[in-house]
Amino acid sequence: MQRRNFIRLAVAGSVTGIIAPEIVLAGSSSMAGGVYYTKEAPGRWGKKVAGHLPNIKVLKGDKGVSIKVVTSHGMDDYQHYIVKHIVLDKDFKFIAEKMFDPTKDKVAISEFSLGNYKGAVNVLSVCNKHDSWLNSAVV
């Protein structure tokens, strides 16, 4: 009898682990892609686009391509600030990131060397209060 109860609980737990996340996450479409906001889909933060969307400038030089990322968001100590910039390739695979210290960094500016990379680059700007924001550029 204990063996049957164990098997029932194991099966129920497995099914719950597969189905429950789908049920919980299915209604959370307030963010573009469920993970980040964009200029076109700012969700509940429609009035926050200007200060949170990362601006990407492509720089071409002797050593290949690099990008300069600026998020025009204030750095209000640890109360409200940009936590980091994350650079992803065209397939959203991690390339690099820069963390910010709001007690030292007065502006969220970062530069990333991409070498000979060509194609789309995606940049996330992460705010400690207003979530993650995505912008893209072609290098």
pLDDT at 23 over 70: no
- Which band of pLDDT confidence, cut at 50, 70 and 90, is reported for residue 55? very high
124: β partners: 86, 134
pLDDT in the model for residue 63? 87
- What's the pTM? 0.76
pLDDT at 58 over 50: yes
pLDDT in the model for residue 7? 57
Check: CB of residue 4 under 8 Å from CB of residue 12.
no
What is the per-residue pLDDT across 7-22, written as a single tens digit (0 to 9) for each? 555 555 554 444 444 4
Percentage helix, strand, coil, to 5, in the chain?
25, 40, 35
pLDDT at 27 over 80: no
pLDDT in the model for residue 21? 42
Sign of the torsion formed by the C-alpha atoms of 124, 44, 27 and 128: positive
pLDDT in the model for residue 3? 63
What is the per-residue pLDDT across 89-129, written as a single tens digit (0 to 9) for each? 999 999 999 999 999 999 999 999 999 999 999 999 999 99
What is the per-residue pLDDT across 60-92, written as a single tens digit (0 to 9) for each? 998 899 999 999 999 999 999 999 999 999 999
* Beta-sheet strands, E only, within the chain: 55-61, 64-71, 82-88, 94-99, 108-115, 120-127, 131-138
